[in-house]
């Protein structure tokens, strides 16, 4: 979670699966995707549902947050 938040602060958007893997030392994108899917199931992160968009991840929006 800290990695995603700091990436957004630095780059203005969520990191891709490959970028996350590179930062945490995982070369397998499927391992990263599995971990992200677990976080998404728990409601801790979300991914934009845009076809063709890079798989950028971010913390979910909080109701009332601007």
Q: What is the mean pLDDT of each run of 10 residues along the chain (66 residues)?
A: 86 87 91 89 79 61 57
Find, among 50, 48, 51, 28, the residue nearest to 40 by Cα. 48
pTM above 0.75, yes or no: no
Given this model, what pLDDT does residue 22 score? 94
Given this model, what pLDDT does residue 53 score? 55
How distant is the alpha carbon of residue 32 from its chain centre?
Answer: 10
**How far apart (Å, rounded) are the C-alpha atoms in residues 20 and 3?**
8
Cβ–Cβ < 8 Å for 14, 58: yes
């Amino acid at each position: 979670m800290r990695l995603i938040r700091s990436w957004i602060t630095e780059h203005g958007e969520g990191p891709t699966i490959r970028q996350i893997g590179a930062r945490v030392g995982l070369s397998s994108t499927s391992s990263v995707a599995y971990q992200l899917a677990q976080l998404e199931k728990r409601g801790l992160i979300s991914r934009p549902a845009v076809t063709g968009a890079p798989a950028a991840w971010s913390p979910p929006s909080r109701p009332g947050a601007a």
